[in-house]
Amino acid sequence: CSALPLSPGPLSLHSPADLSELLKEGTKEAHDRAENTQFVKDFLKGHIKRELFKLGTAALFFTYSALEEEMEQNKEKPCFAPLYFPLELHRKEALARDLEYLYGESWEEKIQCSEATQRYVDRIHHVGQQEPELLAAHAYTRYMGDLSGG
């Protein structure tokens, strides 16, 4: 991990809580835009076609598979170790169970990674291998957005 220069000013990070607050504030505008799209509004109301839900679940499976693989590879690096909580956060296995329910026993043969999802997966792998300190941003976006609704 590269050392991130931290000044003693307001952007210094002293704890994961400080990082969480900075990420929350820094992503507020994008979050507000995202949660107000018609798709998200419909999704939160449960008004989504089953086929679209299946495709979205498959995309999340590929995404979390990549993210959790890179988190595992970087779990002992000082820049990422304080954020590693596999028992509390990992989603891959739960998504696999969801996909088995949605697609049936041989679900692995029935799902495909879309081009857009593949680009995101490739970016996660790049970050994990080249800039692991940036995994925090990906983890925050996925886990906070997907699990906490924001």
Q: Please say whether the beta carbons of 86 and 68 come within 8 A.
A: yes
**What is d(CA 99, CA 21) in angstroms, rounded to the nearest whole number?**
34
Tell me the three state secondary structure of residue 58: helix
Q: Residue positions in the annotated binding site? A: 24, 31, 140
With residues binned 3-state (H G I as helix, E B as strand, rest as coil), the percentages for the chain, rounded to 5, are 70, 0, 30
**What is d(CA 58, CA 52) in angstroms, rounded to the nearest whole number?**
10
How far lies 41's CA from each of 23, 37, 62, 100, 134, in Å? 23, 6, 24, 26, 29
Q: Residue positions in the annotated binding site for heme b? A: 24, 31, 140
